[in-house]
C-alpha cells in the first residue's frame, strides 16, 4: 500500500521528454507545488497563484473558435493512431453511482476500469459533453471560468494486457498539440506535478497551465484508493482532459470564458436587454481578479463584494458604478451557460421534475427565467434555447433531432414557473399565516426553502410579499440548505446500507450459486432439486425453476415438495425461497418443485407488454421518454415514464392502438447474451431503461424493430403470445412522471368486461346511450359549472347584503365589528370581511352552520393580533384556529357559547 | 369508438378523471346540480 507522499515522489514526474525539450523543475513560490517549465518562473501558473494573464493577451494565436479547436484536436489525435469514440449521453445511465457524465473517464467507469468489459477502442479520442452542478453558483461573474456544461476533449489509452503508451508519450502528444497544432508559445506552458483522485481511482497527474488557465489535465491512473491508501490497479489508464472551452478562451483572450463560446447569444441578450457595452478597464480588472475565486472554498457573494471594493480602490470608481456595469452581464452569462446545458440535459432524456436529475434541470430553467426577469427582457426562454440548438446542431445533430421535445419541455416549465411567480402573493400569504400560527415571530429559512423547492420562488420574490419580518436569506443560502439536506439523506441511506451489512444472511456463506433453470427452459414448470440449506422458513436449492422478485417483476409462485412458495429473492448468485412451512424438509433431500404456470404466463405477458408500451410511449410522446420504474404482476402491470404533461385521451388511445398492432404483427422477442461494450455500441444507451446493470455480459431482450433493453426478466418468445393490451388508467405519481397501468392477455379480457359495466352505469346515470356517454358527461359538467358560478354570484350578493346590515362600534380608536352570520362558510365570511374592512377596523365574524366558522382581520392601524384572538375564540368554542396578526381563521364546535363569546370579545379579549 | 375509447373520452371531458370512478363522479355531480338548483330558488 502506498501513501499520497509516495505518489508525489519526484521520480514519478521526471520524464525524459522534459530533459530532451529543455524543461526544468521549479517550485512555486506561492503554493509550493513543483512544476516544469522551459523558462524560469517564480509561480506555477495556477489561477490561484497568478491572475488571468491571457485576458486581452491570448496565449494561443488566431482567435480560434471552440468548433475549430475541436476539429483540430480530433484530427490531430486521429492522425496519431487514435480512433474517435462518439460522445456518451450526459446522463450516466450505465453508471450506478452518478447522475451525470462529469468527465470522459466516466464513460469507462466502472465496467472498463474493473475489466468487466473491454474499451470500445484503444487508444481513443473523444469529445465528451459533461455536466457539473457543483460549480453552478460560480457560473456568471463568479469566477468567469466555470461552466455547467463543458466539453471534455480527451485521449485515453488502456494499458492492459500490454502497454500502449504511458507518461512520456502522453506529455509529448499534449506538447505537440499545443505548440505545433495550436502554435502556442512553448514558454507559456507549465506542467504542474499533482495527484488526481476520483471515483475510487487515483494516480499522479500533470496540470497543464497557461497564464492562469488550466487547459488540460494528464492523469496516469494506476491505483485504487482504499481508506486513504493506494493499491495498484490491474490496468493502468491514460486519462486526459482538455477543456475545449478553456482552450478557446485562451485563444480569444476575452474577459470571460462565456464571451469566447457564446458570442452570438450574448450579443442577442445584450441587444434585448439594452445593456451598454462595458468599460473594458473595469471589466478586465474584475475578470482578472475573479480568477482567485472558487465556490468550493469560499463564500462567493462575500468574495464578490471584496472584489468590487478592491477594483473601486484600484481604479478610483464608485462601487455602485462597478456593480451597475457587471450585474447585467452576470445574468447574461448565466442564461448563456444554463441554456446550453439544458440543450444536452433535455436532449439526452431528462424531464424536469422535483426529484433527482429532473430537479437539477428544473433548477437551471428557473435560474434562467429569474435571470431574464432581472434583465427585464420580455422574450421566452424557449427562444434562447432554440438559438443554442441552432448553434450546435452541426456538431451534435442528435440534439437537433430532439428539438421539438426540448422546446416543449422548456415551454411547459416556463409557463409553470411564471404562473408560480404571478401567484406568489397568495402562496406566500398562506405560508406566512401558517408560520405565524405556530407562534414564530420571523419568517424562517425552512419556510424559504419550502417555497423555493415546491414553488420555485426565490427569497427575493417571497420577501416582496411578506408582512412579518424574515431571516436574512439569499438564494445561495437556500441552495446550500438543499444541498445539505440531500447530503444528509445520502448519509442516512449509507447508514441504512451499513446496517444491512451488519445483518448478513450468514447462512448463505459457502453455498454454491443456484442453477437458474428458468433461463435454460422457460417452458419447464416441474422438476426435482436438492435442498442445500434450510434456515427458518427459507430454503436454498441447488437449482430452481422459480424466477425471483426483481426488475419490477413479481416472483413466481408454486410449491416445493407440497409447501407453498410465498416469495423468491435473489442474493448475489443464490436464490432464496420463502415457504409457508419447512416442516418435514431436510438438507440434502431430493424434492419436487413446481411453478404455477398460469401465474408465470401472466407475469411474462405483462413483462413483454411493458417493453412494448415503453417503446410506443417513446414513439408517440417523444424521445425524452425514459422508463422510470415498473411493476409486473399477474393481473396488471404499471410502467412509469418520464414525461412533462398528462397525455391526452387521444394519445393514450394511440399508444394502446400501436401497442396492440405490435402484438398482432407477431414479432419475435429475441433474448441473447452480449458483451457489454458490443451491446452499447450496437444499440446505444437506451438499453439501460431499467437502470445500470452489473456484469460483463448483458442479457439483451430485442423486440424486433421496436425495443432493445438490457433485461434479466422472463419474456414471451413472440409478441402474439401477449394477447390484448388495455391501458386501464393513467396516474401521476409525482411531477415529471406519468404512470400507465395496463393489463394484458386474460386479465385484459376480464378488465374489458368490467369496463363494459362501467359504461352501462354511466349511460344509465346520464339517461343516454353508450355511444353518447362522452357527450352526456360534457353537458352535465357544463351545467354543473354554470350552476356553481351562478351560486357563487348569489352568495356574493348575499354577503354584500349582510355586510350592509352590519355596523361597527367605536372602541377607542378601533372600529370594532363582532357579528354572528348564520349559515356562512369560511369563504363567505372572508367576502363579508373584505367589504367591511378599513385601516381602522378589527373584525370578528362567527359563521354558524353545522359548526362555528371563525374569521378575524385587523386593519393596518389596529394594534390587535388577529392570530392570537382567533386562536383564543376557537379554543373557547371547542375547536382550533390561528393565523397572522392581520388575518386569521379557524372553527369551534359549541354554538351555545356564541352569545357569551361575543360579549367576552368586546369586554375582555380586545381591551 | 370501442368501450375504452368511449370511457377515456368521457373522462377527458371531465378533466381526465379516473375512469373507474366515472359513475360515482357523474352521480355526485348530478346530486350537486339538484342541490344547487334548490339553493338558487
DSSP A438-480: TT-SSB-HHHHHHHHHHH---HHHHHHH--S-B----HHHHHH
pLDDT of residue A500: 45
* DSSP letter (8 states) at residue A684: -
Interchain CB distance below 8 Å, B6 and A771: yes
Residue A295 Cα distances to A98, A300, A304, A388, A703, angstroms: 21, 6, 11, 27, 48
Burial environment of residue A887 by CB neighbours within 10 A (0 to 12, 13 to 18, 19 or more): buried
Q: Are strands A538-541 and A526-535 parallel, antiparallel or unpaired?
A: antiparallel
Considering chain A, what is the average pLDDT of its residues?
89
How many Cβ contacts (< 8 angstroms) between chains A and B? 90
Distance CA A324, CA A606 (A): 62
pLDDT of residue A135: 73
Distance CA A837, CA A819 (A): 14
Q: Are strands A538-541 and A543-544 parallel, antiparallel or unpaired?
A: unpaired
* DSSP letter (8 states) at residue A550: B
Residue with cell 430485442: A702
User: In angstroms, how far is the first alpha carbon of chain B from the final one?
Assistant: 40
Distance CA A643, CA A625 (A): 6
What are the phi and psi torsion angles at A771 (to 5°)?
Answer: -65, -30
The number of CA neighbours under 13 Å toward the Cβ of A635 is 3
Interchain CB distance below 8 Å, A787 and B29: no
Residue with cell 502522453: A170
A240: cell is 486526459
Distance CA A393, CA A546 (A): 50
Low-confidence ranges of chain A (pLDDT < 50): 295, 493, 496-503
Q: What is the dihedral angle through the alpha carbons of A674, A676, A677, A678, rounded to the nearest 10 degrees? A: 10
A298 touches chain B (CB under 8 A): no
pLDDT tens digits, B3-40: 888 999 998 888 867 888 899 999 999 999 999 999 88
pTM here? 0.79
The residue ranges of DSSP E strands in A160-228, in sequence order, are 189-198, 201-210, 213-226
Residue with cell 523558462: A39
Q: Which chain B residue lies closest to A741 (C-alpha atoms)?
A: B18
* DSSP letter (8 states) at residue A859: -
Mutation for testing the A interface, residue in B8, B24, B32 having most A CBs under 10 Å: B8
pLDDT of residue A499: 43
pLDDT of residue A509: 80
Residue A488 Cα distances to A482, A494, A553, angstroms: 10, 10, 31
A898 touches chain B (CB under 8 A): no
Let me know the angle formed at the C-alpha of A604 by A683 and A712, rounded to the nearest 5 degrees.
45
Mutation for testing the A interface, residue in B20, B23, B40, B41 having most A CBs under 10 Å: B23
Q: A450 with A428: CB under 8 angstroms?
A: no
Distance CA B33, CA A780 (A): 9
Per the structure, the complete domain to which residue B20 belongs is given by 3-40
pLDDT of residue A694: 78
Chain A residues whose beta carbon lies within 8 Å of the beta carbon of residue B19: 728-729, 755, 758
pLDDT of residue A490: 53
Distance CA A790, CA A250 (A): 69
Q: A224 with A246: CB under 8 angstroms?
A: no
A794 touches chain B (CB under 8 A): yes
Distance CA A623, CA A714 (A): 26
Which residues have a Cβ under 8 Å from the Cβ of A663 and sit 6 or more positions away?
A612, A719, A720, A722, A723, A724, A725
Distance CA A34, CA A25 (A): 7
Q: Which chain B residue lies closest to A783 (C-alpha atoms)?
A: B33
pLDDT tens digits, A194-210: 999 887 889 999 999 99
Which H helix or E strand runs over A872?
helix A866-876
Q: Is A206 helix (H, G, I), strand (E, B) or coil?
A: strand
For A235-299, the three-class secondary structure string (H helix, E strand, C coil) is EEEEEEEEEHHHHHHHHHCCCCHHHHHCHHHHHHHHHHHCCCCCCHHHHHHHHHHHCCCCCCCCC
Q: A710 with A700: CB under 8 angstroms?
A: yes
Chain B residues whose beta carbon lies within 8 Å of the beta carbon of residue A761: 22-23
Let me know the angle formed at the C-alpha of B31 by B26 and B35, rounded to the nearest 5 degrees.
145
Distance CA A429, CA A188 (A): 59
Distance CA A905, CA A116 (A): 78
Could you tell me what percentage of chain A is helix, strand and coil, using 3-state DSSP and rounding each to the nearest 5?
Answer: 45, 25, 30
Distance CA A219, CA A225 (A): 15
Of A850, A851, A844, the closest CA to residue A877 belongs to A851
Closest partner CB to B13 (pick from A771, A777, A791) = A777
Q: Is A703 helix (H, G, I), strand (E, B) or coil?
A: strand
Distance CA A330, CA A375 (A): 10
Q: A377 with A396: CB under 8 angstroms?
A: no
Structural domains of chain A, with CATH: 4-257 (3.30.930.10), 506-595 (2.40.30.130), 601-765 (3.30.980.10), 804-909 (3.10.310.40)
Chain A residues whose beta carbon lies within 8 Å of the beta carbon of residue B18: 729
Closest partner CB to B6 (pick from A727, A729, A770) = A770
Number of domains in chain B: 1
Of A259, A247, A244, A292, the closest CA to residue A142 belongs to A292
Q: A853 with A889: CB under 8 angstroms?
A: yes
Q: Spell out which chain B residues touch chain A, with contact meaning CB-CB distance below 8 angstroms.
A: 1, 3-14, 16, 18-20, 22-23, 26-27, 29-30, 32-33, 36-37, 39-40
Q: What is the dihedral angle through the alpha carbons of A791, A792, A794, A799, rounded to the nearest 10 degrees? A: 140
Amino acid at each position: 500500500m502506498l501513501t499520497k507522499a509516495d505518489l508525489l515522489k519526484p521520480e514519478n514526474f521526471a520524464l525524459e521528454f522534459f530533459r530532451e525539450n529543455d524543461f526544468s523543475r521549479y517550485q512555486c513560490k506561492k503554493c509550493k507545488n513543483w512544476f516544469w517549465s522551459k523558462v524560469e518562473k517564480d509561480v506555477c501558473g495556477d489561477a490561484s497563484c497568478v491572475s488571468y494573464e491571457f485576458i486581452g493577451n491570448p496565449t494561443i494565436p488566431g482567435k480560434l473558435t471552440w468548433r475549430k479547436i475541436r476539429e483540430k484536436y480530433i484530427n490531430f489525435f486521429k492522425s496519431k493512431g487514435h480512433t474517435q469514440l462518439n460522445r456518451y449521453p450526459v446522463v450516466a445511465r450505465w453508471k450506478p453511482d452518478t447522475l451525470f457524465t462529469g468527465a470522459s473517464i466516466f464513460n469507462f467507469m466502472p465496467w472498463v476500469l474493473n475489466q468487466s468489459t473491454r474499451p470500445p477502442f484503444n487508444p481513443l479520442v473523444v469529445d465528451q459533453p459533461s455536466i457539473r452542478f457543483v460549480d453552478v453558483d460560480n457560473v456568471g461573474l463568479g469566477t468567469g471560468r466555470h461552466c455547467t456544461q463543458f466539453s471534455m476533449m480527451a485521449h485515453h489509452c488502456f494499458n492492459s494486457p500490454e502497454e500502449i503508451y504511458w507518461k512520456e508519450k502522453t506529455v509529448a502528444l499534449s506538447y505537440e498539440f499545443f505548440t505545433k497544432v495550436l502554435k502556442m508559445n512553448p514558454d507559456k506552458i507549465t506542467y504542474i506535478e499533482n495527484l488526481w483522485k476520483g471515483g475510487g481511482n487515483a494516480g499522479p497527474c500533470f496540470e497543464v497551465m497557461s497564464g492562469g488557465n488550466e487547459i488540460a489535465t494528464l492523469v496516469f491512473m494506476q491505483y485504487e484508493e482504499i481508506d486513504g491508501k493506494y493499491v495498484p490497479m490491474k490496468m493502468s489508464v491514460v486519462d486526459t482532459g482538455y477543456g475545449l472551452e478553456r482552450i478557446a478562451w485562451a485563444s480569444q483572450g476575452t474577459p470571460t470564458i462565456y464571451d469566447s463560446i457564446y458570442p452570438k447569444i450574448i450579443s442577442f441578450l445584450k441587444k434585448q436587454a439594452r445593456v451598454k457595452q462595458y468599460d473594458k478597464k473595469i471589466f478586465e480588472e474584475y475578470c482578472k481578479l475573479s480568477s482567485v475565486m472558487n465556490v468550493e472554498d469560499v463564500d462567493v457573494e462575500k468574495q464578490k463584494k471584496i472584489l468590487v471594493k478592491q477594483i473601486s480602490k484600484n481604479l478610483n470608481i464608485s462601487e455602485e458604478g462597478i456593480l451597475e456595469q457587471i450585474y447585467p452581464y452576470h445574468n447574461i452569462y448565466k442564461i448563456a451557460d444554463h441554456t446550453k446545458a439544458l440543450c444536452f440535459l433535455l436532449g439526452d432524456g431528462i424531464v424536469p421534475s422535483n426529484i433527482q436529475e429532473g430537479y437539477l434541470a428544473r433548477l437551471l430553467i428557473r435560474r434562467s427565467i429569474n435571470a431574464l426577469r432581472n434583465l427585464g427582457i420580455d422574450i421566452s426562454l424557449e427562444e434562447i434555447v432554440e438559438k443554442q440548438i441552432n448553434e450546435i446542431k452541426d456538431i451534435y445533430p442528435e440534439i437537433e433531432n430532439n428539438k421539438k421535445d426540448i422546446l416543449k419541455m422548456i415551454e411547459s416549465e416556463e409557463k409553470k414557473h411564471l404562473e408560480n411567480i404571478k401567484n406568489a402573493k397568495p402562496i406566500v400569504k398562506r405560508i406566512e399565516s401558517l408560520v405565524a400560527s405556530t407562534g414564530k415571530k420571523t419568517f424562517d429559512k425552512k419556510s424559504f426553502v419550502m417555497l423555493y423547492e415546491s414553488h420555485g420562488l426565490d427569497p427575493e420574490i417571497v420577501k416582496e410579499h411578506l408582512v412579518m419580518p424574515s431571516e436574512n436569506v439569499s438564494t445561495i443560502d437556500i441552495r446550500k440548505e438543499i444541498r445539505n439536506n440531500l447530503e444528509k439523506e445520502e448519509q442516512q441511506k449509507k447508514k441504512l446500507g451499513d446496517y444491512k451489512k451488519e445483518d448478513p444472511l450468514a447462512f448463505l456463506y459457502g453455498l454454491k450459486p443456484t442453477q437458474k433453470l428458468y433461463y435454460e427452459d422457460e417452458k419447464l414448470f416441474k422438476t426435482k432439486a436438492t435442498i442445500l440449506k434450510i434456515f427458518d422458513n427459507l430454503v436454498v436449492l441447488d437449482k430452481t425453476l422459480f424466477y425471483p422478485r426483481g426488475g419490477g417483476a413479481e416472483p413466481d409462485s408454486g410449491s416445493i415438495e407440497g409447501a407453498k412458495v410465498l416469495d423468491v429473492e435473489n442474493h448475489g448468485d443464490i436464490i432464496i425461497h420463502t415457504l409457508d412451512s419447512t416442516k418435514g424438509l431436510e438438507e440434502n433431500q431430493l424434492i419436487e418443485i413446481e411453478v404455477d404456470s398460469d401465474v408465470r404466463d401472466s407475469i411474462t405477458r405483462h413483462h413483454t407488454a411493458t417493453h412494448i408500451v415503453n417503446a410506443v410511449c417513446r414513439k408517440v410522446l417523444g424521445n425524452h421518454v425514459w422508463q422510470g420504474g415498473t411493476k409486473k404482476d399477474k393481473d396488471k402491470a404499471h410502467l412509469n415514464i418520464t414525461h412533462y404533461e398528462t397525455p391526452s385521451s387521444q394519445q393514450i388511445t394511440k399508444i394502446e392502438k400501436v401497442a396492440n398492432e405490435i402484438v398482432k404483427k407477431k414479432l419475435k422477442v429475441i433474448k441473447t447474451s452480449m458483451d457489454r461494450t458490443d451491446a452499447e455500441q450496437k444499440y446505444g444507451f437506451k438499453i439501460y431503461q431499467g437502470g445500470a446493470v452489473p456484469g460483463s455480459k448483458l442479457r439483451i431482450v430485442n423486440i424486433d424493430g421496436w425495443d432493445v433493453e438490457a433485461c434479466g426478466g422472463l419474456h414471451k418468445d413472440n409478441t402474439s403470445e401477449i394477447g390484448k393490451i388495455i391501458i386501464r388508467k393513467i396516474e401521476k405519481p409525482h411531477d415529471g412522471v406519468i404512470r400507465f397501468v395496463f393489463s394484458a392477455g386474460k386479465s385484459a379480457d376480464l378488465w374489458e368486461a368490467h369496463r363494459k359495466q362501467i359504461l352501462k352505469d354511466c349511460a344509465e346515470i346520464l339517461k343516454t346511450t353508450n355511444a353518447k356517454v362522452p357527450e352526456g358527461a360534457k353537458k352535465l359538467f357544463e351545467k354543473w359549472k354554470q350552476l356553481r358560478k351562478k351560486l357563487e354570484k348569489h352568495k356574493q350578493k348575499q354577503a354584500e347584503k349582510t355586510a350592509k346590515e352590519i355596523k361597527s362600534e367605536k372602541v377607542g380608536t378601533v372600529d370594532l365589528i363582532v357579528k354572528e352570520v348564520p349559515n356562512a362558510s369560511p369563504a363567505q365570511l372572508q367576502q363579508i370581511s373584505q367589504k367591511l374592512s378599513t385601516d381602522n377596523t378589527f373584525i370578528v365574524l362567527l359563521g354558524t352552520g353545522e359548526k362555528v366558522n371563525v374569521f378575524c382581520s385587523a386593519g393596518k392601524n389596529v394594534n390587535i393580533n388577529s392570530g392570537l384572538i382567533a386562536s383564543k375564540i376557537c379554543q373557547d368554542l371547542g375547536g382550533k384556529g390561528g393565523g397572522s396578526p392581520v388575518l386569521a381563521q379557524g372553527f369551534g364546535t359549541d354554538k351555545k357559547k356564541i352569545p357569551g363569546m361575543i360579549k367576552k370579545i368586546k369586554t375582555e379579549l380586545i381591551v | 369508438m370501442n368501450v375504452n375509447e368511449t370511457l377515456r373520452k368521457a373522462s377527458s371531458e371531465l378533466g381526465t378523471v379516473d375512469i373507474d370512478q366515472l359513475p360515482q363522479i357523474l352521480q355526485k355531480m348530478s346530486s350537486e346540480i339538484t342541490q344547487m338548483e334548490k339553493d338558487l330558488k
